[in-house]
Amino acid sequence: MLYDRILLTGAAGLLGTELRKRLAPKVKFLRSTDIAAMSDPAPNEELITADLGDLAVAESLVKDIDAIVHFGGLSKDADFASICRVNIVGFQSLYEAARLAGVKRVVFSSSVHAIGFYDQMHVIGTDVPARPDSNYGVAKAFGENLAQLYWDKHGLETVSVRIGSCEPKPSTRRHLLTWLSFDDMWQLVERSLSVPRVGHTIIYGASDNSATFWDNRLASHIGYRPKDSADAWQSEIHAADPHPGREDIVNRLQGGIFAK
Ligand code: 15L
């Protein structure tokens, strides 16, 4: 990897916990932060309990950091005021602090909810305009736009990873399109911190699922080659949920392809 001193936000979450384990052995210094307390730091790891919506903390979080793996923020069940405070205002203050501290790159956990109202009968690339399916998706689209601004205006690079459903294994028909394995998620982060130039790149975070309608060709410079696929669970999932329709129809009828 190109960077030695990493800040990981959202470090106590499901994905953050995976990332802590995998990042620590690869870097000189890892600062892991979350609003929830964490334990058992690696020898090169500093743990900080902090609220990303608290604007006073951003400066201390980014001090002496080369790159940020930003997986923090509120999830899609949060109310809009809270999403605004943490995922929009808190996000901007983190970027501004990062710029002032000379941070070189951010890996941002965007989400497929930023484009969740696209119809999956047509393949979409990473260059389509946002089409959010929720306030949470609007905030992710804001995040991608802010990342673009910080690249264009200040030269701070970002890879915005539109993460699908990153879970230990796929368990629903929807996951046959959206699933991202932990190993493939790690590959996305590792590649994003290793390639020499990313500018602001948007990439879909999904495993090699044959039902996908997301096209990552514009992000091929990241070198992401997913190794896993939800296809291996297809028969099991269809047997457990013998719906007569296709996954896309099922999702559309639920009021948005990423509605659960
Ligand atoms: C997301 O963006 C959420 O953070 C995650 O909790 C899942 O709900 C995922 O999308 C999904 O839609 O499966």
Residue-wise pLDDT tens digits, 121-180:
789 999 999 999 999 999 999 999 999 999 999 999 999 999 999 999 999 888 999 999
Above pLDDT 90, what percent of the chain?
87
For residue 76 and ligand 1, the question of a CB distance below 6 A is answered with: yes
> Catalytic: 136?
yes
Determine contact, residues 225/191, Cβ cutoff 8 Å. Answer: no
**Model confidence over 207-229: pLDDT tens digits?**
999 989 999 999 999 999 999 99
Looking at residue 242, what is its pLDDT? 75
Q: How many CB atoms lie within 10 A of CB 133?
A: 21
Q: In the 8-state DSSP scheme, what is residue 11?
A: T
**Model confidence over 22-71: pLDDT tens digits?**
999 999 999 999 999 999 999 999 999 999 999 899 999 999 999 999 99
For residue 71 and ligand 1, the question of a CB distance below 6 A is answered with: no
Write the DSSP assignment of 214-227 as a string of letters. Answer: B--GGGGGG-----
Looking at residue 247, what is its pLDDT? 52
Query: For residue 243, what pLDDT band results from cuts at 50, 70 and 90?
Result: low
Nearest CA to ligand 1 atom 7: 165
Checking if the pLDDT of 3 tops 80, the result is yes
For residue 110 and ligand 1, the question of a CB distance below 6 A is answered with: no
Nearest CA to ligand 1 atom 5: 165
Q: Which of 3, 136, 150, 204 is catalytic?
A: 136
Alpha carbon distances (Å) from 124 to 118, 131, 203, 227, 229: 8, 11, 12, 21, 19
pTM of the entire structure? Answer: 0.94
**Model confidence over 57-81: pLDDT tens digits?**
999 999 999 999 999 999 999 999 9
Q: Torsions phi, psi of 200, nearest 5?
A: -115, 110
Looking at residue 139, what is its pLDDT? 98
Checking if the pLDDT of 239 tops 60, the result is yes
For residue 134 and ligand 1, the question of a CB distance below 6 A is answered with: no
Nearest CA to ligand 1 atom 8: 165
| Cα–Cα dist 130/110, whole Å | 12
For residue 164, how far is its CA from the centre of ligand 1 (angstroms)? 6
Checking if the pLDDT of 245 tops 70, the result is no
Checking if the pLDDT of 107 tops 90, the result is yes
For residue 258 and ligand 1, the question of a CB distance below 6 A is answered with: yes
Checking if the pLDDT of 253 tops 70, the result is no
For residue 44, how far is its CA from the centre of ligand 1 (angstroms)? 30
Residue ranges in the chain assigned as alpha helix (H):
14-23, 58-62, 80-83, 91-101, 135-154, 175-178, 182-192, 234-240, 247-253
Looking at residue 241, what is its pLDDT? 79
Checking if the pLDDT of 14 tops 70, the result is yes
Checking if the pLDDT of 251 tops 80, the result is no
Cα 179 versus chain centre, distance: 13
CA of 165, closest atom in ligand 1: 13
Q: Up-side HSE of residue 217: CA atoms within 13 Å toward CB? A: 5
Task: Please state, rounded to an integer, the average pLDDT across all residues of the chain.
Answer: 93
For residue 74, how far is its CA from the centre of ligand 1 (angstroms)? 11
249 vs 7 pLDDT, higher one: 7
Question: Coil, strand, or helix at residue 80?
Answer: helix
Query: What value, to the nearest 5°, has the Cα angle with vertex 210 and ends 207 and 215?
Result: 70
196-202 mean pLDDT: 98
